Structures are given as C-alpha cells and as structure tokens.
Structure 1
Amino acid sequence: MNRHPVAPRLRPLRVGLVCPYALDAPGGVQQQVLGLGAWLRGAGHDVRVLAPGGLPEEAYGLEESRFTSAGAALGVRYNGSVAPVAPGPLAAARTRRWVAAQAVDLLHVHEPLAPSTSLHALAAARSPVVATFHTATPRSRALRIARNALGGAVDRIDAGVAVSPTAREVVTRHLDRDTVVVPNGLDVAAYAAGPGRPESAPWGPGPRLLFLGRSGEPRKGLDVLLAALPALRRAHPGLEVLVAGPGRQHLPAGCRSLGLVGEDDKRALLRGADVFVAPHTARESFGIVVLEAMAAGVPVVASDLPPFVDLLGGPGHQGEPDGPGGWVFPRRSADGLAAAVSAALAQGRGARTRRAQQLAQRFDWSVVGPQVVEVYDRVLAARSAEGAS
C-alpha cells in the first residue's frame, strides 16, 4: 500500500463491516468483526454490519438497527472446516442492496474470498475496500481459484490486512499481493477478572485441563490430548479433561463434554482451569483461544504452530519445550503434550502466567483498534490523492 500523508479527520467514519460467516454461529472471524465493531463505535465511528444468519445474544452491544442479515447460512466445507456461509444468488442480491444503501466511507470485508457475503460485497463495492485475511492454509484450493478466476475482485481491494505473518505468507504466495499485519484484538480486561467456576461445569477434585474448540475437527488436535491421557493420569491421579465447544466426539472416562458455552462461561472456565491445552495440528493463522487463555491467567500448553509460538513470546531456550509465556510441545506428539502439561501443573500460576498476561496486552483492542483505523486513513488518503490528480 502506498504511503500517503494522512490529514486530520474532520468527522467520524461510516464503516461497513462484512463477515462471511453466520454471525450467530461460534467462530473467531465472527468474534473479530463484533469486537472491532464495538471498539469502532466506542471511538465514535458509525458502524454497519452485514453477515449471514442472525444477531447473536452476545453481540458486543451491536444494535439490531445496525445489523443486516444476508439470509440463512449454509454449511460449506472451507479451510478445513464446515463454514456457515451464504453463497447463493439471494444472498448476493441482498449484499448488493446493502452496499448501495449504506453509503459508507469505507468497506471492511473479512475473508474476502470466502464463498459468501464478503465476496459478494467485494464485487459490488464502489467505496474504498480494506480486506482482512484470516486463512492459514498452505495449499489453499480456494485461493488458487481466486488467483486465476477472481482477479477482478481481488483488484478491488485497496489494502490487505493479514492477522499474522503466517496469514500474510499465504496471501503473498497465492495471490501475489502484499499485506500489512494487524493482529486480532481482544478485550483483555474481560478475561482477567471474574468468577473462575461457572455453575454449568461443576468441578471434580483433581487437576483440570481445558480444551476449547470443535471436537470433531481433526486439526483442533483433541485426539492428541486424548492419546496423552494415560500418561497424564499415571502422573496425576484424578486428572479431569473438560471439552467445551461444538461437536459430538466420543470421550473416554474422566473427560466431560460441556458442549457450546457462552462467552461468560468460557471466560470463567479459562480462569478456573489448572491448564489450558491447545493441541492444534494445522491451519491456524493466529490462535485466538490461546490469547484468551493468556489473558485469563491460566497456564497455557500449546502445540508449536508458529502463530502460537509467536503469541507466547517466541521459542524457549534450547532444549526446553516451552516459551516465555507458556509451554510449547511438538505438534501431534502425545508424549510431548504430556510432558508439557506435567511441567505446567508443577509450576502452576507463576512467572509464566504473569508473562502471558503481559504479552496479551499487545492485543487489547485499545492497541489493535488504532492500527486498523490507521489502515483506513491510509486508504482514504490514497483515494483522495487519486481524486485530486
């Protein structure tokens, strides 16, 4: 993106945020759209949101009058998951009408090439466009198709944002476009304080490990955690595993499925667990669940996916399976996971959890939000300069 001088803004911006996934379904992209919208509104900007599905109960204060549904979502396999998207002509028509009616200063689309509202909005856009890429799929068929068949849509993007260096590398490789890295944001204070034992999950007497995610998706790594259980139980009798999130995977004795939990219960679960485990094996561009655990002050054990290692402050010292803000183990290694969990249980809340909470502050919306607005201002300055020439 060309660097143009940015003049002081004379009025708040009207920003259109577009989410490709059903807003009332759980997901990291949805959370980012809602969280960014809340921060922008708090900063005085006028925010309008378009997405499939309905407005969730926990909408971060988003008013119904500022939300438009593109229609019912359809589960489509995308990026190693089943994504709740709106790919059809009816959603495309609703998106075109919404784009024309909002008269926004700038359109901010998330996952712009997902087969849903973001791609529809990109095709209809007349205002400047910022696009955030969340994907971390090294061999993305969707991005290869986009490069060859959707070149015109990609060219409508004035500025690309990647949520991590991993996501940036994917965009550069498949779309031959540069992006600026602006990480995902989080309301850190909301995780740091509050109750630690939700009524929905009564505790047992032993140590508690917490897994958050879709249990039926292999890339989330629950099978790796379950494979480590025999060794963990020999070392820690009475150990219990709590599994929170959608999915119906059969769990062995000593594991409890809590199903989908609300935001308040999720935060309480994180604060009350003895160790949070993120055993993911692939396709993670950022790791919002790791960041949430860091902010909550629970000891974190994570696989060595680059985004997780970056969040935890980088690799540990040579010969140690840990990072400054937590414990890192080789992905897919049940033995490595068991060793890291044992180390985390031995230390408990201490120097590493304090370090993790310090590191989490880098991603508070008070830090990330202004970075996003700086991208907006650069894009608008570039458009203004083009209009004046």
Structure 2
Amino acid sequence: MRIGIVTQSYYPRYGGVTEHVHHTAVELRRRGHEVTIITGRFRDGDEERHEQGVERIGTNIMVPFNRAFIDFTVGFSLRQQLRRLFHTYNFEVLHTHSPNAPSLPVLAVQEAWCAQVGTFHTTAGRSLLQDLFCGYLARTTIRRLDRSIAVSKTAEASTRLYYPGDYRVIPNGVDVERFHPAVEPIERWQDPEFINLLFVGRLDPRKGLQYLLAAMPEIVEGTAGRARLLVVGDSYLRTRFEAQVTPALRGHIHFLGHVPSADLPRWYATGDIFVSPASGNESFGIVLVEAMAAGVPVVATDIPGFTVDEAKDHLGSRLMLPPWLEPRRAQLMQHLSPIRMPAA
C-alpha cells in the first residue's frame, strides 16, 4: 500500500511526535508498505541522515504555542507542492499528524483525495482564538478525515472540545529492543559518590525544568552533596535556564544539550532517577515510557497527560519503581520532595 505521512515535527528536531512518526514509518515499511514522509526543511539542521523516504517542502520555523515551541512550516507554494507530491505518489492512505495544526497538516488534509487518517497529539485548554479557528477547521478540514486517532485519553478529551466524533486511542510506544535495562551507561557520568537525576526533553516552559532547578539547592543539601542533575535537551531558552544556576550549584547541574538519538538509551541507563516536573498541557509523556522501559525509577508530576489511562494509575506524586527497587521508595522520594509547583 502507498502511504503518505504528513508531519511538521521530524528529524533533525527530536521530540515525541518525531519519534512516533519515525517508528510508525519503520514498522509500516517492515510490513511491506511504501511509506513517504512529507515534512518541512530546517535551515540549520542535519537532515541528510534521515532522508530515506522523506520529501521536504517549505521551511520549518519555531513558534510559541501551548507553553512550548512547536514547528511551523512556511512557504509561498505549500499547497501547490503538496498537490504535486500527491499526484506523484498517488497515495492510497494519507496519515496526517496534528491535522488541526496550521499550516502543512491543514493544507494536506484539504488537498488529499485518498483515504485519510489523523492523529491528534495535543492537549490544550479553550481560548477565544481556538473557538473561532477550530470552528472553521471542523467545517472545512477535520470532517474530511476517515479515521481519527488520539495518543491518550487526555488528548482525546481535549480534541473533542472542538471536534466531536469517533476516536480510537492508540498510545505511543517505544522500541523495547532499544530501551531496556541492560544498556551500558555512559562511563564518564558513573560515580558511586553521586546520585544522577536525569531530565530529558525540550527546554520548554511547560516541561517544568525551572521548578526542578529551583529545588536543587535543597535536594543537594538533603543528599549531603550527592545529587547531580543531568539535563538532556535544548531550546532557545537554554541560556535562561543556565542563568538560574548559582555558582555553588554548577558542579551539580550539567546542561548537555542535544544528544544523538542513538545515544539516548545510554543516557537513560546513566540516570539513577528520571525526573519529569512538567506543569501541564502534556498529552502523553513518551519520555516516561522510555525511562520505564530502560528500568529507571521515575518521578513525575500528577497531571492528566501523565496518567496511565488503562491502569488508572498515576505517575505523579509518587515513584514508579521496578519491584527490585521498591524498598528504596522512601529514600528516593525524600531526595525529590523539595520540588514544588506553583498553585494552579
């Protein structure tokens, strides 16, 4: 089957949607389908390593939305380029990610003439602007989808506010052959004198790194100087976060920036505790699943997007530990207890 996948989030920009798209394409190809990913170009990115079966049109820029920065594809002839690609590949199915997002996804849904699937990744509250814009999209675009998918019940509930209909919840998955407890850690950061707290993700405001940084003085003091925070990820806000670190803590907080995707499992293996202090508007939290697959204890905030829907079990306000680490729960929780979120 000839399948097209449209996404504004793709390599070299790492993130949950990027990984979702990549692994979906890999699995579909493994099953014998012809898959082409349609996405934007990056002005300063290393795209060559990810170009198998990829068509790039327009240019991706970063724009603020939903207390984060998202990719937004711009170009003077996106609609015409999409039409040309659709004629060239003659897709039998088009799968658009975030089909309610301008500009590339919306244009793709409007221009396609084949069977269409849309996956909704976003959790956001209501606003007047969205009320006006989403009403237009519901009438002109979303109704063209033959099937609708949400990555979590939280994402489904948020999407239903604007686009009523039938949704199938298909959670994000991770490659357990890649993320598993037997992966070798990064030797440089292995030191029995330190407890490695690991943060992985884009440095967006809603990811909550600022709250973890604010808690670090008390965490370091409470662990007799043993706590060390490793920050894997980057964004335009990195310098602002770095400025939050006092001279006394510079030996305990390390900003590592973007790391190669191939090395990410080793970073999880390097962490003693994975921490995700996100403050809201999260649909799933794929980094939590990666950490758990790697066998790393997880501390996460109690927000709807971090709820394990089917099990009705919360990651927030407590530790999710593999059985062999359960006896250390009280000790580990004490280490992270100073993290405080602002009142809602």
Structure 1 distance, partners of 2:297, 2:309, is 14
Structure 2 unmatched runs, 5+: 323-328, 337-344
Structure 2 residue aligned with 1:117: 104
More helix by share: 1
Task: Name the amino acid aligned to 1:301.
Answer: V
Match of 2:157, SS state, is: helix
| 8 Å Cα contact 1:313-1:323 kept in structure 2 | no
Residues 1:286 and 1:271: Cα distance change in structure 2 (over 3 Å): same
Structure 2 distance, partners of 1:271, 1:96, is 45
Residues 1:231 and 1:187: Cα distance change in structure 2 (over 3 Å): same
State the number of aligned residues.
Answer: 314
Aligned counterpart for 2:219 among listed residues 207, 214, 232: 232
Structure 1 residue aligned with 2:284: 286
Query: Bigger shift: 202-211 or 267-276?
Result: 202-211
Q: Report whether the alignment pairs 1:209 with 2:197.
A: yes
Structure 1 distance, partners of 2:55, 2:67, is 27
Aligned counterpart for 1:271 among listed residues 259, 269, 272: 269
| 8 Å Cα contact 2:96-2:109 kept in structure 1 | yes
Task: Name the amino acid aligned to 1:91.
Answer: L
Residues 1:204 and 1:312: Cα distance change in structure 2 (over 3 Å): farther
Within a 5 Å distance, the mapping from 1:120-135 to structure 2 comes to 120-135=107-122
Structure 1 residue aligned with 2:254: 256
Structure 2 distance, partners of 1:75, 1:182, is 27
Runs of 4+ in 1 over 6 A off after TM superposition: none
Match of 2:185, SS state, is: coil
Structure 2 residue aligned with 1:85: 72
Normalized against structure 1, the TM-score is what? 0.74
Q: Report whether the alignment pairs 1:220 with 2:207.
A: yes
Q: Report whether the alignment pairs 1:45 with 2:33.
A: yes
Structure 2 residue aligned with 1:160: 148
| 8 Å Cα contact 2:38-2:55 kept in structure 1 | yes
Structure 2 distance, partners of 1:295, 1:140, is 36
- The alpha carbon displacement at 1:194 in A equals 2.3
| 8 Å Cα contact 1:106-1:130 kept in structure 2 | yes
- The alpha carbon displacement at 1:313 in A equals 4.7
Describe the superposition over 1:219-263 as per-residue Cα deviations: whole angstroms up to 9, x where unpaired.
101111122222212221221101110132213421000011112
Describe the superposition over 1:273-296 as per-residue Cα deviations: whole angstroms up to 9, x where unpaired.
110000000110010111110111
Aligned counterpart for 2:332 among listed residues 339, 342, 350: 342
Residues 1:141 and 1:294: Cα distance change in structure 2 (over 3 Å): farther
Task: Name the amino acid aligned to 2:98.
Answer: E
Structure 2 residue aligned with 1:8: none
Structure 1 unmatched runs, 5+: 1-12, 327-338, 347-389
Structure 2 distance, partners of 1:313, 1:344, is 26
Structure 1 distance, partners of 2:265, 2:309, is 19
Match of 1:175, SS state, is: coil
Normalized against structure 2, the TM-score is what? 0.83
Aligned counterpart for 2:161 among listed residues 151, 173, 182: 173
Quote the RMSD (CA, aligned, Å): 2.7
Task: Name the amino acid aligned to 2:124.
Answer: T
Match of 1:307, SS state, is: helix
Structure 2 distance, partners of 1:203, 1:123, is 55
- The alpha carbon displacement at 1:323 in A equals 5.9
Residues 1:85 and 1:316: Cα distance change in structure 2 (over 3 Å): closer
Structure 1 residue aligned with 2:294: 296
Task: Name the amino acid aligned to 1:46.
Answer: E
Describe the superposition over 1:178-199 as per-residue Cα deviations: whole angstroms up to 9, x where unpaired.
3110111211220114221165
- The alpha carbon displacement at 1:269 in A equals 1.0
| 8 Å Cα contact 2:298-2:320 kept in structure 1 | no
Q: Report whether the alignment pairs 1:67 with 2:62.
A: no
Describe the superposition over 1:60-107 as per-residue Cα deviations: whole angstroms up to 9, x where unpaired.
xx62xx210013212222332222221333223222211222111110
Match of 1:71, SS state, is: strand
Structure 2 distance, partners of 1:102, 1:142, is 36
| 8 Å Cα contact 1:212-1:243 kept in structure 2 | yes
Q: Report whether the alignment pairs 1:34 with 2:22.
A: yes
- The alpha carbon displacement at 1:56 in A equals 4.0
- The alpha carbon displacement at 1:57 in A equals 5.9
Describe the superposition over 1:28-58 as per-residue Cα deviations: whole angstroms up to 9, x where unpaired.
1111111100011111111111001267466
State the identity %: 32
Aligned counterpart for 2:318 among listed residues 314, 322, 329: 322
| 8 Å Cα contact 2:92-2:115 kept in structure 1 | yes
Structure 1 distance, partners of 2:56, 2:167, is 29
More strand by share: 2
Query: Bigger shift: 217-226 or 163-172?
Result: 217-226
- The alpha carbon displacement at 1:177 in A equals 2.6
Match of 2:162, SS state, is: helix
Task: Name the amino acid aligned to 2:260.
Answer: G
Structure 2 distance, partners of 1:24, 1:198, is 26
